[in-house]
Structure 1
Amino acid sequence: MDATTLSANFEARERATAELRSLTEEFAGKEMDAESRGKEAKLLDAIADYDGRIKRGIEVLKSGESVSALIQGLNGTGSKKETQDKLAEAAAQLRSLGVNQSVAFAPESRAGIDTKSNPGNTVIARTLYGRLLAEAVERSTVMRGGATILTTSSGEPMDFTVVVGRAQASIVNEGGNIPESNPTTVQRSVGAFKYGYASTVSSEFVQDQALDLVGFLVGDAGPAIGAGMGAHFLTGSGTNQPKGIITAGSPAAATFTATAKDAAVSDALIDLYYELPSSYRAGAAFVVSDKVAAQMRKLKDGQGQYLWQSSVQVGAPDTFNGRPVLTDVGVPDDKVTFGDLSKYTVRLAGPLRVERSVDLKFLSDQIVYRFLQRADGLLVDERAVKVLTVGGGETAK
């Protein structure tokens, strides 16, 4: 999708949003007739369709280095020419990589090493690591939503003090003893689970200097690794995989059924909002499935106004009750998560290794590139996330 098409989709979305707003105002405080309800449903579907097109268009047009300040920091602040030079150098290194040798994408800045004179011990320019990490971040709702990303050179266990309850001060009389109050904490550790992915390309593709080998491999491996990690950062059990933010979050007291009407659902979501301590609300976001988002999108207040507010800025998330709403296919349809995603720490251990082999696809003259990244995740403050269950019952931690 080019910039012109993206702009046209955005303008069409704005027209549909304005028409929906006018329809809502027309029936403010009163029941819609059947024709108007049908029109409302079509407009909501159209806006959702435009949102999807706009998101896909942005993914095509945007530069990998501009996804977030984090990626910019990993890439450095060099000029566009310097960045292009680094990527060209990385492409040359990948193409000249010997059989069954490997290179490593690393966030730290190091001088490139000639693969011919020192095979198997090369660190690609950090711009390439930034591009690949940017693609992975975009496929993980937790990382894209503001998780703290920690990079370490190795994968030995790291201990974290996880806060599950805060200390509290009280009034002390003159001459009286000061009572002790300590935060409730538990010790947990993060390790490094190995995520792997292999991409097969023809030898002609690798040999053809006109083709963007780096862009292809980054665009192929980044989403695959991001999706694999992202699913566990959401719902991982913590046994032989990271413990996801939904699994680790505190159960909310309120619930609602999937067939509940506006009042019941909105009341439960408002209760969820206020169950989260006020110190976390300013940076909190809802994380839901598409099915739950569709239900939230149709909720109205007593005056017939939508509680869901569509974003007027391209690329910015929609909001519900003033807070961003993020959707992910990995979120169960019976869960609504509300919390500060920055309290979830993603640990990327060691460089991302890229290894090349011609053995596996020898008869078809194809080359296999294998990508390996070690990672783990942990919610370091369990008070920062609340999980509402749709259908009744509490979520087991």
Structure 2
Amino acid sequence: MSIQDTYKKQANAALEERAKLVTELRSIEADSRLSAVEKRERVERIDKDLHRLEAEARDAVERGEREAEVRTLAERAGMASALTGSSALLGDREDEWRTLMPSLGEYRALISESVPVDGGYTVPQEISGKYIDALKAKSTFLRGLPADSIIPFTSATLSVPQLVSSTGADYAAEGQQIPEGQMVWGEVKFDAKKIGEIQWASTEVLEDSALDQRRVIAENLLRDASLKFDADAFTGSGANPIKGIVSQGTSTTLGTGKVTVTYDDLADAVARIEATNGTPSVVWASIDMAAALRKEKAAGSGIYQGGSPTDSPASTAWGLPILPSAFLPAKTVVVADGSRIVVGIRRNATVKVSEDARFDSDQVGFKLTMRMAGVSLAEATSAQVIKAAAS
């Protein structure tokens, strides 16, 4: 069996394992005996294995193609005839032929000297799991959502079922037929969009720095990605890859003279969400309005509405967490039911490291990528956007 056939066999084996996991994934979704939490935990575990097997299959295919390229280069350079005296004997002395040729890693580094973009990126698989949680902690938008609202998916498009209407309920007399209802379903589709960034550092900086620069660079990449996502998750609209919550929610502009959003305005927004059987869970505020809410005092008492300073003042309003965001327009506050918001994650945030993409200049590359989809709001009333008057 040739090396190319070996790599092909490895790729097929990985794809067969992946197909079994896809079947298992479908059975989990259909298993009514499992709770939502159990389903999510199993789906997350299987999702990681799916990504691993995809990577294994892709790597095997690429290795096979690369070995074929190397063989062609060797034959053109006359190395095969120098080794065996006859190119016909090459297949019988494959291992000996390989000792004269660069390994896959060496070959990749050599071609990367003149073409930096051809460098490969490698990273321990376990790092990705760490950065899922870190991304959520760094993203103001994701931090305000319950775990069930963040949905991993395994295709190019995230389809969110949407109940358009439900009718038919009526009174039924004793012994009479119960009226038949009708539900009309639609869907909202979102394409997975990649967010990425690459940073470079010389090996001297990495070696001589008093800080753990590898960790610092990775955390900065993660912070940049979370900020980019937050920008669109809040205010994206029209041609933006991710449509934001402000453009989808119900907006209320306060009357002339009401230049700040108050606790009373939040109470009104909470009531509007509850009127449609929603459960308000989070308050997102622009920087100026977050500051105003934190300093608001009850009339005549001088007591902070959010509690005394020793009780983490203004971190909550009506029992809801207040999360400031620089990406909300000035004078804007959003009260939302997080359970009615859906965000899709096609590929979790991962940081990969390349030590050969700029082999000739002795630089190390750090690359972060993730693929997101959404944001989807079940109904406009579940996100109440409050805008203070300009003057």
TM-score with structure 2 length normalisation? 0.59
Question: What amino acid is the match of 1:251?
Answer: S
CA distance in 1, matches of 2:300, 2:370: 51
| 2:151 partner SS | strand
Deviations 1:125-155 (A, max 9, x none): 33x11332233222321211125222234x4
* Amino acid corresponding to residue 260 of structure 1 in structure 2: K
Task: Rate the CA distance shift 1:311–1:245 in 2: closer, same or farther, 3 A.
Answer: farther
- Report the residue type matching 2:271 in the other structure: Y
**Mapped contact 1:132–1:218 kept (Cα < 8 A):** no
Alpha-carbon distance between aligned partners in 2 of 1:206 and 1:226, rounded to the nearest angstrom: 24
1:387 aligned partner: 385
* SS of residue paired to 1:230: helix
1:244 partner letter: G
- Superposed counterparts of 1:234-383, under 5 Å: 234-237=234-237, 239-252=239-252, 255-257=253-255, 259-260=257-258, 265-277=262-274, 282=279, 284-302=281-299, 304=301, 305-309=303-307, 318-350=315-347, 352=350, 354=352, 356=354, 365-382=362-379, 383=381
Displacement after TM superposition at 1:200 (Å)? 1.6
Alignment match, 1:98: none
What is the root-mean-square deviation in Å for CA atoms of aligned residues?
Answer: 4.3
Instruction: Give 1 or 2 for the bigger CA radius of gyration.
Output: 2
Instruction: Tell me how far 1:182 sits from its aligned partner.
Output: 4.7
The residue number in structure 2 matching 1:125 is 125
Structure 2: how far apart are the matches of 1:310 and 1:130? 38
Q: Does the CA-based 8 Å contact 2:282-2:321 persist in structure 1? A: yes
Unpaired stretches in structure 1, ≥5 consecutive residues: 1-68, 78-105, 393-397
Q: Quote the Cα distance in structure 2 between the aligned partners of 1:110 and 1:177.
A: 54
Give the Cα separation in 1 of the matches to 2:217 and 2:331: 36
| Separation of aligned partners in 2, 1:183 and 1:317 | 42
Describe how 1:191-230 pairs up with structure 2 within 5 A. 191-206=191-206, 212=212, 214-230=214-230
- Structure 1 residue 216: Cα displacement: 2.6
Tell me, yes or no, if the aligned pair for 1:256 and 1:265 is still in contact at 8 Å: no
Deviations 1:268-295 (A, max 9, x none): 3322110002686655111111111222
Separation (CA, whole Å) in 2 of partners of 1:269 and 1:292: 12
Q: Name the SS for the 2:304 alignment partner.
A: coil
The separation in 2 between residues aligned to 1:228 and 1:192, in whole angstroms, is 15
| Number of positions where the alignment pairs a residue of Structure 1 with one of Structure 2 | 287
Larger helix share, 1 or 2: 2
Q: Match of 2:130, SS?
A: helix
Letter in 2 for 1:330: F
Deviations along 1:191-236, one digit per CA (max 9) or x if unpaired, are 2111111112112245679974552332121111111112111111
5+ residue gaps, structure 2, are 1-36, 64-102, 109-119
CA offsets 1:341-380 (integer angstroms, 9 cap, x no match): 23322222135363637666955x4333232221112324
Moved more, 214-223 or 156-165: 156-165
The answer to whether residue 151 in structure 2 is matched with residue 150 in structure 1 is yes
When normalised by structure 1's length, the TM-score is 0.58
Per-residue deviation, 1:180? 5.1
Contact 1:140 1:226 in 2 (8 A): yes
